[in-house]
Amino acid sequence: MKPSKQRTALITIAGVWMLAAILLFSATAAFAQNQKGKDIYSQLSLFTEVLQKLKQYYVTDLNDEDLIKAAIIGMLGDTDPHTTYFTAEEFKDFTTSTKGAFGGLGIQIDKIGDYVTVVSPIEGTPAYRMGITAGDKIIKVDGKNVVGFSTDEAIKHMRGDVGTQVTITISRPGIAEPMDFTIIREIIKIKSVPYFFKLDNGVGYIRITQFNENTTPELREALTGLESQNIRGLILDLRSNPGGLLDQAVDTVNEFIGKDKLVVETKGRIPSSNRQHYTRHSTRARNYPIVVLINEASASASEIFAGSLQDWDKALVMGRTSFGKGSVQQLFPLVNGNGIKVTTSYYYIKSGRCIHKMLNDKLLKGKEVSEEEKKEDEAKSHEHIYYTVNGRKVYGGGGITPDIDIQSDLLSNFGIELRRKNAFFNFTVDYLVDHPNYNVPIDFRVDDSMLSSFLTFVQNQNISYTAADLDSTTSFIRSTLKSEFLRKKYGDNEAYKATIDQDKQLQAAIDLFDKYTTMEEMFAHAAR
């Protein structure tokens, strides 16, 4: 081994020693007793001996960095699925995703066939201003061919420092020659609240997709806009919200329950992990009824939000029991630019419920969980009874159990196949290329002629279906086609509104406001 490589290996090994020493010396007395006779130095000596033998005798040359990385990943993998190791690039990407902004172009993309394709330009961004449109296929970035690249690979080439330029080459349906767009990268805000509007029955609707550093101001803007329209109630949609920043969860709960109220506390093994998080701001009273929608993919900060409004009797929770990701991670940068994310505590909300579902750790690590185990886990969660501030019963043991359980509609296999092959998006792109002067009114309807054209398109894409498939899916097809056409003309907000009639859980929430006018009436209904 070259001297420089030897020095690198020794420094890396020393770093591993230090990390292992910190982890092991901070263990409890009980852990130390169980590990009696297993001296830390003898264990590290064993590790070093194995590494040396491997380097000396293995059949091919081995890379020091790869070996140490594998050892670290193996060590962290023996904990829980949320304790992970990042390379320097991964660590940077992870921290960027929670900041809510990055230097980019402003396009939503997806992989369609071999091509990274523009799904939608984001209004007000450089790409939007330069006329990049849905359906454009990105074939080069700064002259580099990206056909066949994954979306993540393409994003790495397109993102960069704010103020720098990038040239992307586009293949556009209906245009023979590729087109070059030279774009100056700007800060692209990741919308946490992409949709809010007043429904036909006078109830406000707000969709929260994640909790990043923009969530609280975006929520306040949405509330101000809706309350200026004199809404008589509010639906907060947190379905499939994976969570995000804890302080944003607390601050958004603050908007509904006022100042100096306990939202959540963290409890861990070391004293610094034990903290209570209270609301800090005086806010206006919101006395209209509120419903929070959650599902099996609502996790972490979204569970704190939903569970807290439930605990403080500020909202009725509807949908399906949430995911149960109630563990807290802390990011630790390492000396070489890499980093680790370590689970340090669990979340407990006002009623005393622990959000974390231990069974999920097993699932996320790829271990099999039988249906019997799932049923037992669900039954156990209902054995733990807690109470809201006004004495309503709520259940703990992992995840947030809704006050009213509503299942979502399942798509037919035909509907799934249409989505999987991007039939709706591709049809609307082709249709508007073939009909450049086609007018899309705000009250656009998919008539029988357009439905017939779509089904012909589907057949040409080798997607087969039966008469029964069509009977069960026609309403979904009309709604989704309408949504895609409206997106091209009026943007995401109008496109999203067009899908409401196909959303069983949201319709159930809307119907609740048509039957009951106060929060107390809704609570009484849920308790029956």
Going from the C-alpha of 470 to that of each of 327, 348, 350, 481, the distances in angstroms are: 44, 47, 48, 15
The residues, any chain, with a CB within 8 Å of residue 81's CB and separated by 6 or more, are 361, 364, 365
Is residue 359 within 8 A of residue 371, CB to CB? The reply is no
Residue 297 phi, psi dihedral angles, 5° rounding: -105, 5
For residue 497, what are the β-bridge partners? none
The catalytic residue among 120, 171, 300, 327 is: 300
| Tokens matching residue 504 | 């069983």
Beta-sheet strand order (sheet of 204-207): 195-198, 204-207, 234-237, 290-294, 316-319, 404-405
In whole angstroms, what is the distance from residue 304 CA to residue 94 CA?
21
| Tokens matching residue 302 | 């979204």
Is residue 277 within 8 A of residue 308, CB to CB? The reply is no
The catalytic residue among 311, 361, 403, 503 is: 311
**Burial call 199-211: b when 16+ CB within 10 Å, e when fewer:** beeebbbbbbbbb
Q: In which residue are the tokens 């809404």 written? A: 231
Smallest CA-to-CA distance from 117 within 98, 128, 132 is with 132
430 is catalytic: no
DSSP designation for 336: T
Count of other CB atoms within 10 angstroms of residue 83:
18
Residue 152, burial from CB neighbour count under 10 angstroms (0-12, 13-18, 19+)? exposed
The catalytic residue among 325, 357, 488, 497 is: 325
For residue 404, what are the β-bridge partners? 318
Amino acid at 117: T
Please give the radius of gyration of the chain, using alpha carbons only, rounded to the nearest integer.
27
300 is catalytic: yes
Smallest CA-to-CA distance from 189 within 169, 162, 158, 165 is with 162
In whole angstroms, what is the distance from residue 523 CA to residue 156 CA?
49
In whole angstroms, what is the distance from residue 21 CA to residue 433 CA?
64
311 is catalytic: yes
Q: How many residues comprise the chain?
A: 528
Residues involved in catalysis: 300, 311, 325
